[in-house]
Amino acid sequence: MNTKTSHQEVLQRLEKFSLFTDSSIGVPFTNFKLGAESLIGILPVVGDLAGLLLSSYVLFEAQRLGVGWGIKLRIIINMLIDFFGGLLPVIGDVFDAYFKANTRNTRLLARHLAQ
């Protein structure tokens, strides 16, 4: 298997993962979508920790692909913004629904691999 095919397969998995965690549930009468991570994040602290753990999957895949520390640091920063933003009562849940760290990180990784 060549590297380009491997990258495409990883990105396809990450896109499915991001869709599930960030945008898999449509909000009725709107174009807005929530994901499993937003629902999990409703649980104070524990839900945010679970979301942080889920988000580490993108970082894990970036490491497996041999991505440099600059990109991995940006992924970690997005993960931490999502985590700490989600800790705020009520506002954090809304923030988490809009920030969509996994989608951001998957796109960041895809742009990097396309170069």
User: 40 in a domain, yes or no?
Assistant: yes
Q: Could you tell me how many residues make up the chain? A: 115
- Domain containing residue 11: 3-16+28-114
* CA 102 vs CA 1, 45, 57: distances in Å: 26, 19, 9
Query: For position 115, what pLDDT does the model report?
Result: 86
User: 21 in a domain, yes or no?
Assistant: no
Query: For position 73, what pLDDT does the model report?
Result: 98
User: 99 in a domain, yes or no?
Assistant: yes
Query: For position 81, what pLDDT does the model report?
Result: 97
DSSP codes, 53-73: HHHHHHHHHHHHTT--HHHHH
C-beta atoms surrounding 114 within 10 Å: 8
User: 46 in a domain, yes or no?
Assistant: yes
Query: How far, in Å, CA of 87 to CA of 7, rounded?
Result: 33
Give the model confidence (pLDDT) of 68-103 as tens digits.
Answer: 999 999 999 999 999 999 999 889 889 988 999 999
User: 23 in a domain, yes or no?
Assistant: no
**Domains held by the chain: number:** 1
What is the reported pTM? 0.90
Give the model confidence (pLDDT) of 16-65 as tens digits.
Answer: 999 999 999 999 999 999 999 989 988 889 999 999 999 999 999 999 99
